[in-house]
Chains A and B, each alone.
Chain A
C-alpha cells in the first residue's frame, strides 16, 4: 500500500461480538462486557491499557458513565457521540483524531442491545414534543416508513424495481449461509423477497433488517500501542462523517445520502480510489439503504444502483463482495448495526473469515448510516 497518502496514525487491533440473536439471559451491560473482554483478548491487551471509552445507546441516561463504571474503567478520554447506527464509525474516526492529538493510546468502543428480547421498538409514546410533533400524529412507522418514502422516490425517478432491491437481500443471505453466527441462514430467492409480506410500500418484510439482541466491541490503538498487539493492525486510513437531517421530511434529497460527502472525505484522506477497494461493508438496515449508499459513495452514478447490484454482483463469487457477514438483513441487527460493520471489515482484512473470506482483501470501505438516512460515517481500512 505504498501508494497511500494516509498516515498510519491508528489501527483496529481487536474486535469481538457478544452472544448474538436472542439473549434473554443477558442485559446490555453484560453483552458489552462480554464483547469488551473478548476484543481485548483478541488484541492481547489488558483492561488497564484502555484509556478512552466510546459507546452509544439509548439504554441509559449516560451510557458512557454506566458502562465504564460497570467495566471498572476510569478513562482519560470519553466520547458518547450518538448519531444512530453510524455512531461507531464516527467513534473510530474520533479515536484517530484523539490519538493524533496525543490524548490517549487505546480506545474501547462498544455497543449492546437487547431489543429483540425487550421488544422495545415502536413502542408508542403518548405525547410528542419538539420537532416530532409535526410528524408523529400521521402514523408513519419508523424507521421502515421513512426508508419506504426514499425507495418510492428512487423508483419514481429512475425506474428502480423491487427485483433490484431484492437482489441485495438475496446476495446478503448467501453470505449469511457462510457465517455460522448469522441469525438467518436458509437461502432465499428473489421471488421470496417479492412474495414476503408488504410492510410499507415498496418495502417487503425481506427488504428489512432483522430485529435481534447483540453486542460488539472494537479496540482502536495508536501506531505505538498497535506495535505490541497480538493481531496485525488494520489501519484506519480515512474517515468522513456528516448528518443532513433528523426527520425524513427534512432530507434535502430523498435519493442522495450524506455518504456523498462523508465518503468523498474518507476516500480523499486515505488517498485510494474506488477500484482499489476489495470488500465493502455497507449498512443494510433496508435494501434501499445499500442501494442509495453505493450511489452516494460514488461506486455508480445516481440512479444506477439498481443495475449495479443486479446479477448477484455483491454475492459470494461476485466482483463486488459486500456485507460478507450476512449483514443486518441476515446476520444480526440489534438496533444500531454500525459496530458489526467494523468487526467484519477487520476480520476480512486479517484473513480470518474462513468460507466467506474475500481472497487477498487488503482495502475495505465501511459506511454506517444512522437515523432515517440522517447520518453517515465512512471509513477506509487497510492492512500492510
Chain B
C-alpha cells in the first residue's frame, strides 16, 4: 500500500509555523510572562498558563536528543527506508521531531545540528537538520 503523504491540516495554532517554513524561517513561540520557549505552537503557555504568547524566530541550531534509523517504514515512506528520524533539542530549549540528513557515521546523540528547509511536496516545506562541526 503506497498511501498518500500525510499532509498537515493547517489551523490557527499552526499557520504562522507552516508559513514561516515556506519562507525558510523556523518560527517558534515564546511566553511573554515566563519567557520560556514553546513548541509545538498553542494558544497558551504550557509552563505558566499565560495566554500572552508571541512568535519568534529560532536560531535553527540545536543538538540531537535521540534518533533512530528506520528500516521498516509504511505507506509513502516505505521506499525511503532506511532514513533517520530524530528528536532535536533547539538552543531555545524546545524539542521537535525531524529528519537528519547526511552521513550516518556523523549522526549521534549530542551532535550539533543546523536546520535546513526541505521541500517535500509542492506546497510543503519541512524542517530537516544536518550535523555541523562545532
Contacts and interface: CB of A to CB of B under 8 A. Distances in A.
Nearest to B67: A152
Interface in B25-43: 39-40
Q: What class of interface size applies to chain B in its complex with A?
A: 35 or more
Given A126-B3, A128-B6, A131-B40, A141 B109 contact: no
Given A124-B75, A152-B109, 8 more contacts: A128-B6, A129-B8, A133-B9, A134-B14, A138-B85, A149-B67, A149-B86, A152-B67
A374 to B, nearest CB: 15
A21 to B, nearest CB: 22
A73 interface: no
26 contacts: A123-B3, A124-B4, A124-B76, A126-B3, A126-B5, A127-B7, A128-B7, A134-B17, A134-B39, A134-B97, A137-B7, A139-B77, A139-B80, A141-B77, A145-B70, A152-B67, A152-B109, A153-B66, A156-B66, A156-B108, A197-B72, A200-B68, A200-B69, A203-B68, A250-B95, A254-B65
A129 B10 CA distance: 7
A140 interface: yes
A137 B124 contact: yes
Interface residues of A, number: 39
Nearest to A140: B85
Contacts, number: 124
A144 B85 CA distance: 12
A139 B66 contact: no
Nearest to A204: B71
A141 B97 CA distance: 13
A247 B95 CA distance: 12
Contact of A125 (B6, B72, B95, B97): B6
A137 B9 contact: no
Contacts of B7: 126-128, 137
B49 interface: no
B126 interface: yes
A200 B73 CA distance: 9
Interface in B59-106: 65-77, 80, 83, 85-87, 95-99
B66 A150 contact: yes
A1 interface: no
